[in-house]
């Protein structure tokens, strides 16, 4: 009897059965089911989208088995390793599977994210292939995570890393030179019992000791580059006055010309009042950058859990995964901060995966919404969260060209379904 995949290829089965196959609902071995789903995703115009969504959320154990098996059909391996479909958890198995075509790995190296490049750099197959190494070197994301051909991550700070550290120290020195008043800690940053924090930090360091050891003395390297952390993101005085609501600006500024002297004095006073805030922000940010640039990994982890909001906003972008994840473990972190982190495109994918794994955040609607709308969020995470979105957000998501085509189409489908349900309940 022919295999089901052969019948589907020959269009010898009814559409209802193909639809069931696209949903992964056939009672078949996992390997054959994955092969059918890949075929439908690549060749079936009607049920291909459903098959792609099913594959994105397919059970990890059988997906790993397919990714690591040299007998897995070439079409399946090419689909799994494609930059558009790649699940990071499968990458180590795909890299060492000799049946994965080298040209597919070259394509992945040329367009992969920083996290993907970091994983690829530790592969023996990658190290032994000049074509893949060349593609890695040409990838713009490569400069953020310097690679060493012998061991994956270089133990000695690279010229790029040293340059980053010098830039951070220069920024801090410039800000400290301009510093006038001493900046007192904000009320929001008041610490709880220090012994509780210390116990949490020690537990975290113990739990992740192996990962910390593997990272060695890796210096602070913010994702997206140091330029995005510099002081240019602090609003200028003119911007502060211009962007303030009309009702909040001094009424004297609108006075007749006869009172221009008084009005001018008042407006000038307002400018000086606004000027103090950006200066304070510059000082705090520069001091934080300078402090962080001089810390080793353990020091940055402790600061991530005990530091201020400003320091957390910098460390969440640390290219060292264990440091960025430590920010989410801070007992001082607020829901508002995590809402902001969920929108960022210059954080590790591991951070965006970790946020919804915490019950506190998975129940907070603005965080869930921000994650789904963030094109940096892994597609399998977004697919799992979309069912929680409100109708209005589904409608906006369906027309959001920044997210993947899969997300947009599913959002449109869910929006129509919810609208139909609303109409029926109204009738």
Q: 42 versus 230: which is more confidently predicted?
A: 42
Please spell the DSSP secondary structure of 327-362, one letter per residue: HHT-TT--HHHHHHHHH-SSS-HHHHHHGGGSHHHH
**Per-residue pLDDT at 169 exceeds 90:** no
**Averaged pLDDT, 218-238:** 57
Q: How many CA atoms lie within 13 A of 283 on its CB side?
A: 16
What is the structure's pLDDT at 221? Answer: 85
**Per-residue pLDDT at 327 exceeds 90:** yes
Mean pLDDT score across all residues of the chain: 77
pLDDT band at 194 (very low <50, low <70, confident <90, very high): low
**Per-residue pLDDT at 248 exceeds 80:** no
Q: What is the pLDDT of residues 4-46, one digit of tens each?
A: 899 999 888 898 899 989 988 888 999 999 999 999 999 998 8
Q: Which segment of 160-174, 218-232, 253-267, 412-426 scores lowest on mean pLDDT?
A: 253-267
Q: What is the DSSP letter of 320?
A: S
Would the pTM of this model clear 0.75, i.e. be above it?
no
What is the structure's pLDDT at 152? Answer: 39
Q: How many CA atoms lie within 13 A of 107 on its CB side?
A: 14
Q: What is the DSSP letter of 27?
A: -
Residue 286's alpha-carbon distances to 190, 231, 297, 330, in angstroms, are 21, 8, 20, 22
All residues at 6 or more sequence positions from 287 whose CB lies less than 8 Å from its CB, including other chains = 172, 175, 176, 183
pLDDT band at 239 (very low <50, low <70, confident <90, very high): very low
Q: Which segment of 37-41, 240-244, 309-313, 414-418 scores lowest on mean pLDDT?
A: 240-244
**Per-residue pLDDT at 392 exceeds 50:** yes
Q: Which segment of 16-20, 151-155, 204-208, 287-291 scores lowest on mean pLDDT?
A: 151-155
The residue whose two tokens read 């000027």 is 275
**Per-residue pLDDT at 75 exceeds 80:** yes
All residues at 6 or more sequence positions from 253 whose CB lies less than 8 Å from its CB, including other chains = 263, 266, 267
Most confident of 75-84, 152-161, 189-198: 75-84
What is the structure's pLDDT at 187? Answer: 43
Q: 219 versus 316: which is more confidently predicted?
A: 316
Q: 315 versus 188: which is more confidently predicted?
A: 315
**Per-residue pLDDT at 325 exceeds 70:** yes
What is the structure's pLDDT at 93? Answer: 92
* C-alpha to C-alpha distance for 330 and 305, rounded to whole angstroms: 4
Q: 408 versus 181: which is more confidently predicted?
A: 408
Q: Nearest Cα to 31, choosing from 67, 84, 79?
A: 67
What is the structure's pLDDT at 54? Answer: 85
Q: What is the pLDDT of residues 351-384, one digit of tens each?
A: 999 999 988 898 899 999 999 999 999 998 999 8
């Amino acid at each position: 009897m022919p295999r089901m995949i052969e019948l589907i290829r020959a269009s010898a089965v009814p559409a209802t059965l193909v639809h069931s196959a696209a949903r992964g609902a056939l009672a078949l071995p996992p390997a054959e089911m994955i092969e059918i789903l890949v075929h439908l995703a690549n060749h079936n115009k009607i049920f291909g989208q459903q098959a792609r969504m099913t594959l994105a959320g397919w059970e990890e154990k059988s997906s790993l088995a397919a990714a690591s098996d040299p007998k897995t059909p070439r079409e399946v391996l090419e689909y799994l390793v494609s930059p558009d479909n790649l699940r990071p958890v499968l990458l180590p198995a795909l890299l060492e599977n000799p049946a994965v075509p080298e040209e597919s790995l070259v394509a992945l190296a040329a367009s992969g994210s920083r996290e993907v490049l970091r994983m690829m750099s530790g592969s023996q197959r990658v190290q032994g292939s000049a074509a893949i190494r060349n593609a890695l070197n040409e990838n713009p994301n490569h400069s953020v995570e310097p690679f060493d051909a012998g061991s994956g991550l270089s133990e000695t700070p690279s010229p790029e890393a040293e340059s980053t550290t010098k830039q951070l120290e220069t920024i801090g020195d410039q800000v400290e030179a301009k510093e006038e008043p001493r900046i007192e800690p904000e009320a929001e940053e008041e610490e709880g019992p220090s012994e509780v924090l210390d116990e949490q930090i020690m537990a975290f360091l113990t739990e992740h000791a192996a990962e910390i050891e593997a990272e060695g003395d890796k210096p602070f390297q913010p994702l997206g580059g140091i330029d995005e952390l510099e002081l240019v993101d602090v609003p200028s005085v003119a911007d502060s006055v211009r962007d303030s609501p009309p009702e909040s600006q001094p009424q004297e500024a609108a006075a007749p010309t006869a009172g221009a002297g008084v009005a001018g004095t008042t407006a000038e006073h307002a400018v000086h009042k606004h000027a103090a805030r950006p200066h304070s922000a510059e000082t705090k940010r520069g001091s934080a950058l300078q402090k962080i640039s001089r810390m080793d990994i353990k020091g940055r982890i402790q600061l991530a859990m005990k530091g201020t909001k400003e320091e957390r906003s910098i460390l969440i972008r640390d290219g060292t995964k264990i440091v960025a994840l430590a920010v989410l473990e801070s007992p001082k972190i607020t829901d508002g901060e995590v809402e902001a982190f969920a929108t960022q495109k210059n954080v590790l994918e591991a951070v965006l995966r970790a946020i919804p794994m915490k019950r506190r955040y998975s129940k907070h609607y603005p965080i869930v919404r921000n994650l789904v709308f963030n094109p940096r969020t892994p597609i399998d995470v977004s697919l799992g969260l979309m069912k929680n979105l409100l109708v209005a957000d589904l409608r906006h998501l369906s027309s959001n060209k920044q997210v993947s085509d899969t997300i947009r189409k599913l959002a449109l489908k869910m929006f129509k379904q919810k609208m139909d349900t609303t109409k029926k309940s109204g009738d």
